[in-house]
Amino acid sequence: MSVLRETPLDLTALITTVTSSERGGIATFLGLVRDHQGGRAVERLEYSAYAPMAEKECDTILAEARTRWPMAQVALEHRVGALAIGDAAVAVAAAAPHRDEAFAACRYVIEEVKRRVPIWKREYYADGSVGWVDPTAAGGSVPSHPEAGRRS
């Protein structure tokens, strides 16, 4: 299954991929596009990624989660392209025999995706300006987008 999608995310379908009779706890995370960032009104945004690199890192993160929580099954999808306010941008589902493992695996995946995966966000503000959000600003290690220093 491809992790990056240009089409809307379906959390219910993602949950189905991790569900089984031996896993009684399912935890999910759904990240939506919000209408503000850093005190500025946002009208829309675009995510971009070099798919082979981003998907490889996502696969690594999912494998790490499965190693840490061997009884868990985890799945992840992230949107790329143009998104409107309220659109789902990222979804994670984790199922395990018990809720503690499901919550832990789900949190691990989303935190590592935000910290490590080279997916860049370009925001379009209500005042007409455009800016790249620096994914490293929150302490992550994602490389800067090549156009991050440019003004639009």
> DSSP states of the chain as a string?
--SEESS---HHHHHHHH--TT--EEEEEEEE--SEETTEEEEEEEEEE-HHHHHHHHHHHHHHHHHHSTT-EEEEEEE-EEEETT-EEEEEEEEESSHHHHHHHHHHHHHHHHHH--EEEEEEETTS-EEEE-GGGGT--PPPPTTTT---
Q: How many Cα atoms sit within 13 Å of 11 on the Cβ side?
A: 15
pLDDT of residue 147: 62
Residue position matching structure tokens 């790249």: 132
Both tokens assigned to 70: 């061997």
Amino acid type, 125: Y
pLDDT of residue 133: 84
Taking the C-alpha atoms of residue 74 and residue 63, their distance in angstroms, rounded to an integer, is 9
Nearest-5° Cα angle at 76, 88 to 38? 45
**What are the φ and ψ backbone dihedral angles of 62, each rounded to 5 degrees?**
-60, -40
What is the full per-residue pLDDT of the chain (152 aa) written as tens digits?
Answer: 579 999 999 999 999 999 999 999 999 999 999 999 989 999 999 999 999 999 999 999 999 999 999 999 999 999 999 999 999 999 999 999 999 999 999 999 999 999 999 999 999 999 999 999 866 566 555 555 656 544 33
Domains of the chain: 4-133 (3.90.1170.40)
